[in-house]
Amino acid sequence: MTEDIITVEQATSLDGLFYKRSERTPDKEALRYFDKGEKSWNSYTWKESLEEVARWQEMLARENLSAGDRVAILLRNCPEWVFFEQAALSLGLVVVPLYTDDRPDNVGYIIEDAGIRLLLIQDAGRWKRLAPSVENENNPLQRVLIMEPGSEADKCARNDDRVHLIENEIPALGVEYKPRQGGDINSLATIVYTSGTTGRPKGVMLSHYNILSIAHSGMTMISVFVEDTFLSFLPLSHTLERTVGYYVPVMTGACIVYARSVGQLAEDLVDHKPTILIAVPRVFERVYNKIQDQLSKGSAVKRKLFSTAVKIGWRRFEKDQGRAGWHPSLLAHKVLDKLVGAKIRDKLGGNMRIAVAGGAPLPASIGEMFISLGVPVLQGYGLTETAPIISGNPIERNKPASVGLPLRGIDVKVGESEELLVKTPGMMLGYWNNHDATSNVIDKDGWLHTGDQGRIDEDGHIFITGRLKDILVLSNGEKIPPAEMESAINMDSMFDQVMVIGEGESYLTALAVVDEAFWTVSAPGKPYTKEALNQKEVVSDALKRMRNALHDFPGYAKVRRVVLLSEPWGIDNGMMTPTLKVKRQSVLEHYVDDVKSMYS
């Protein structure tokens, strides 16, 4: 395996990093994508990628923009996302990434708040949905570039002078790339709007140095080689994907494959055999639940074989980590791995070296199952405000229940109320146009207050124990961390989404979205409606499943009543953020009558 890391000093900026990579390994495959028109997979080398960036650079240079102006990108993951961003950065522009599935009113707010002057958008349909949100006279948007051509895009361009089609604006190949001269590594590179679960999102300002330093420090946790292949499917507007799934491959010369869609992810994993995967816990949870569901329908022998494989696989992992000695049962590991573990790994492509889990807590039992079956899941921790990584588990010092060790150059300590405090080279420059919010998060001594509670063990591993604002306090004073309970309940295949309730009450209740696939199999012929789900026998079964899921929790941490739902909480109905975090207050307001009924 070949290591070819570009250092922060060599890069000097994010666009400088890309330029250096094109010089280092010009003919190495860089970006692989599915061409819908040709219905085939194609790719760009690093040299070809820079040639494409040069075309976008030339086009943007004609837009009367000045260094420091903000431009936004609302595209699915694809090479053009990279080309646009690199071209913008090379002109000293500030890039604001947007979620393709965010609500139009939220995107409209960001465009106005950040003073976006130019927007690159996927297609005419998205622009038509967004346009009413950016029509007020004070809106700064002066140019809209539509990526995908078509009659509707042509119509949009005819009806609005701001709208142009990329195919009509971008110059032909052959334009020379112009490297930026004299850029400041500490200058603002991007404003990333955090998807707050309450109120309007805040714009996190990150510099070139913030992101470069964290990407480079990540190399102390995991080794990435020129021969590695990343499969990219988390949105590039998610800072974890952007730093680890985009900038790290550029820094190391690895190849990025853009998955076609989440629905085709399983097929893309098998076809492209990635060595590194970046994912949020929900992805692992869905695979886990699918495996458990299949086992429940299989024979007792099959279930016993699987559980034995996991048990012995875990023992093997603990031995390899130096936390356990040899045991006679390990003699069966090779056979069991061939019968069970290898089949699971093959469904992930068969070449997976590293699977990074971040963005939310990964239930320990899920991480342990994958690790026991030979899938090296490494849990990490971070915030958008820290670009984003704070800590991660190295392969050789992996404690799956923890979020790992602080990256090189990062200090973490436990403050008042067990809150984790951080000093890091990835520390944001502040919140855009929001000094008060900045001073509330970064104290006078330079510590960033994460809002997460945790502890640090004797080996330096960080364990997240709760969230300051998410603690439920019952009327008897008992404190409940709902996220831990919700995570445990969600491991039952009956439930797709769960929210535990009980602030100021004498007992806990829950709202739970029932998994539609589960209902179809367990109640054939019955409608998937709220009324059908809340029949007495179904509710009784749900409460029993919740009791089983919570058997390790204290006696007061039990759900007494539940309302079962058929409408998933999503971005479109305003009950989830673009990073798939539940907006608790929005859910409570939407189901206020159901909540009242559980306490009447």
The pTM for the full model equals 0.86
Model confidence pLDDT, tens digit, residues 286-323: 889 889 889 988 999 999 999 999 999 999 999 999 99
CB neighbour class for 39 (10 Å; exposed up to 12, middle 13-18, buried from 19): exposed
Return the pLDDT at 26.
98
* pLDDT > 90 in the chain, percent: 82
Six-digit token string for 14: 């994010």
**Which position has the higher pLDDT, 452 or 48?**
48
The yes-or-no verdict on residue 198 having pLDDT over 80 is no
Other Cβ atoms within 10 Å of 150 Cβ, number = 13
CA distance 196 to 201: 5
Buried b (16+ CB within 10 A) or exposed e, 264-302: ebeebbeebbbbbbbbbbebbbebbbebebeeeeeeeee
Instruction: For the chain, list the domains and their CATH numbers.
Output: 8-208 (3.40.50.12780), 471-598 (3.30.300.30)
The yes-or-no verdict on residue 534 having pLDDT over 90 is yes
Work out the pLDDT band at 552, boundaries 50, 70, 90.
Answer: confident
Return the pLDDT at 179.
97
CA distance 179 to 201: 34
Model confidence pLDDT, tens digit, residues 332-359: 999 999 999 999 999 999 999 999 998 8
Model confidence pLDDT, tens digit, residues 63-103: 999 999 999 999 999 999 999 999 999 999 999 999 998 88
